[in-house]
Amino acid sequence: MISRAEVDKLLEMRAAGPTLLSLYVQVPLDPAGLRGLPAHAGELFALAARDSPGIPAAVRVGAADARAVRGLLASRARDWLGRTVAVFACAELGLAEAIPLPCQLQERAVLAARPHVRPLLAAIQRCPPYRVAVINRRHAWLFSIAGTEISTAVLPPAEGMRSHGFSGWYGLQAHRVNERVIQLARHHYQDTATLLDRAARASGAEPLVIGGHQDTIPQFLALLPPGLRDQFAGSFVADPDTLTPAKVRDLAGRVIQDWQNLQDQRMAEEFLREPPDGRTVTGLSACLAAAGKHAIHLLLVPAGGLVPGYACRRCGALSSTGDGCPHGAAESLAVPDLIEEVTVSVLGDGGQIETLLDPPGGIAARLRYALPLRATRLAWAGRAT
């Protein structure tokens, strides 16, 4: 499972020019489709090629890197069926590394001086590992799911009523039996909640999904300790006796997706409710200007899209026109994606990145302090050009 530490390690790599290939490729689910994978990788390589002003020579995927990528895919794609894989290759740095991702992402190929990590950040944030508790009145199964990996723990069955206890009971006695059954179920829910709580304390908070019968879910949910309740992402209704781990992952995965979309929506709404005190900006030019002043505390970026632009070799200023700083176009270097550049810059400043499907204004930022009016005006003037 990809982690922030791995992203940070990748970000330390830097080639002398735009020769480092970052490829995000979808491996077919059907093994028969693997035959077409090398040709498909070739099509993606073509997308990474660039010829434009500010690029000293035509940028192409090098032959050695193309071989390295095809070699990695040929030897390991069988282990990655149905998954998106990130491949980083740069012969100059001796780099050839593949990372299978926990969810499917848009394919892309980028040649730059360092690894293109936006999709990795999106995968970490949008496809987190999560826990699932499937529960009925007597049994509980706990699942830890990370991408395609599932580990299962079956809890010992709860104490039950002895079956002969039911025979011939009626009226008040039947009522007492019923009370006892409810009480036993309650103990069982409490024991399961305690185990879940212990797991969350031991290995950290993760979104929690609950599966089971319609009436069981609220009863169990009501007994979760407050810390664990905060991690509750949603539930699915199913008969636990009919579930397999794969089915659990399928049902819970949809709950996690909905939960993630809701988080997106909340974050965007919260952002739009911010007072107009100059501490929020929307649009690429305003975000670039704010990043140049190291002012961004939180950056909301879109999951897809590449926006080519320029970075100043001397001061690092980012712009879509190459004249965003006093050093002028002569010092400008073409970069394949300004959103990636601003993302890495904000990470370097200790800021936070959130990937949203549709952030306000296409890209938006909350600032540490209000920018002087001049800087904002310049940024907006830049936006108009």
365 binding Zn ion? (CB under 5 A): no
**From 315, 321, 372, 377, residue interacting with Zn ion (rule: CB under 5 A):** 315
- Of the listed pieces 45-53, 62-70, 202-210, 317-325, which binds Zn ion according to CB under 5 A? 317-325
289 binding Zn ion? (CB under 5 A): no
Nearer to Zn ion, 182 or 315 (CB): 315
Report the nearest approach of Zn ion to the CB of residue 362 (Å): 25
- Retrieve residue 73's tokens: 């895919």
300 binding Zn ion? (CB under 5 A): no
Contact 327, 319 (CB under 8 A): no
> Which residues, 6 or more positions from 319, have their beta carbon under 8 angstroms from its beta carbon?
285, 288, 309, 310, 312, 325, 332, 382
**From 69, 312, 356, 363, residue interacting with Zn ion (rule: CB under 5 A):** 312
Report the nearest approach of Zn ion to the CB of residue 378 (Å): 14
**From 14, 314, 348, 381, residue interacting with Zn ion (rule: CB under 5 A):** 314
Size of the site for Zn ion (CB under 5 A): 6
297 binding Zn ion? (CB under 5 A): no
Report the nearest approach of Zn ion to the CB of residue 315 (Å): 3
- Of the listed pieces 38-46, 136-144, 310-318, 353-361, which binds Zn ion according to CB under 5 A? 310-318
- Name the residue type at position 34: L
330 binding Zn ion? (CB under 5 A): no
Q: Exposed, middle or buried, 218 (CB in 10 Å: 0-12/13-18/19+)?
A: exposed
Nearer to Zn ion, 112 or 311 (CB): 311
293 binding Zn ion? (CB under 5 A): no
Report the nearest approach of Zn ion to the CB of residue 373 (Å): 22
**From 325, 335, 344, 379, residue interacting with Zn ion (rule: CB under 5 A):** 325
Nearer to Zn ion, 222 or 315 (CB): 315
Contact 131, 151 (CB under 8 A): no
**From 317, 318, 334, 338, residue interacting with Zn ion (rule: CB under 5 A):** 317
335 binding Zn ion? (CB under 5 A): no
- Of the listed pieces 219-227, 323-331, 355-363, 377-385, which binds Zn ion according to CB under 5 A? 323-331
Nearer to Zn ion, 64 or 315 (CB): 315
- Of the listed pieces 46-54, 106-114, 169-177, 306-314, which binds Zn ion according to CB under 5 A? 306-314
Which residues sit at the interface with Zn ion, rule CB under 5 A?
A: 312, 314-315, 317, 325, 327
